[in-house]
Amino acid sequence: MFKGARTIFCIALALTTTTQAAVVEKHITFGVANIPTDLTVVYKEAHHKVEGQPTVVFLHGARFTSDTWNEIGALDAVAASGYHAVALDLPGFGKTGGLKMFKERDRTNFIKAALDELHLNQVVLVAASMGGLFAIETVLMEPQRVAGYVPIAAAGAEEHLKELAARTDMTMPVLTLWGGEDKPDGSRAHMYEWVFPKQSKVVFEGAGHACYLDNPTYFKQLLTEFLDQIKQESVDAVAK
């Protein structure tokens, strides 16, 4: 379904309630290069790490926290499909300490340190809006670590467009999600088509910037299908 660049328009469905799985709130304290004091980072986790499968890491937008992903049942849906899920409170947001990170270098160092501390060697990054500023750093600096990327009206790509276009290692599957009414940011979606050869795009008709909140049921369906596609491609690659 997601192979090759395509645009899919969907009709917004009514919000439905899902049964929450066991989602645990935890914290870790670690140092980040160029940050004078250690950070205590709060995160939510569902399911356990599965050998040979990537962990789904959720990165929230500027008006939200890790609670947002939990409230719409995203961690529950990922866990119910058999995948390990982690949602971070980014620095300066939610219950995580420290200041908000405006420098690219700090964001790069933070994400690397957090993934290292959690021993996450293979990840699928799900990044909404501002969360894309953190995710794109990992995509650029450690592409071998990124099994897939789901930018949701995500920032970041436009700042690295020339670099991304020149790279030959941007081969991870990418599922780009946008709200049909997200006029200021909708044009960004085309950037992902230019730089990621394995990119597909889904536009949520009638939805705004936070399209995953306008239609969480469809968002979770798309995400779990995307994860299953990555898993199947991995199995096929081993079988060759």
Q: Which of 47, 76, 209, 214 is catalytic?
A: 209
Q: Tell me how far apart the alpha carbons of residues 185 and 161 are, in angstroms, rounded to a whole number.
A: 15
User: Helices (DSSP H) in the chain: which residue ranges?
Assistant: 66-71, 74-80, 104-117, 131-141, 161-166, 183-186, 189-195, 211-214, 216-239
Task: Specify whether the CB–CB gap between 33 and 101 falls below 8 A.
Answer: no
129 is an active site residue: yes
CB-based burial label for 127 (10 Å; 0-12, 13-18, 19+): buried
Rg of the chain over CA atoms, in angstroms? 17
Q: Is 169 a catalytic residue?
A: no
Residue 233's CB: how many other CB atoms inside 10 A?
15
CA distance 181 to 27: 36
Quote the CA–CA distance of 35 and 30 in Å, as a whole number: 11
Active-site residue, from 182, 190, 200, 236: 182
CA distance 210 to 203: 12
Ramachandran assignment for 37, one of left (phi > 0), alpha (psi -120 to 50 degrees), beta (any other): beta
Instruction: Provide the 3-class DSSP secondary structure of residue 125.
Output: strand
* Cβ burial, residue 91 (10 Å; 0-12/13-18/19+): buried
Contact 224, 78 (CB under 8 A): yes
Q: Which of 47, 60, 129, 200 is catalytic?
A: 129
Tell me which residues are annotated as active site: 129, 182, 209
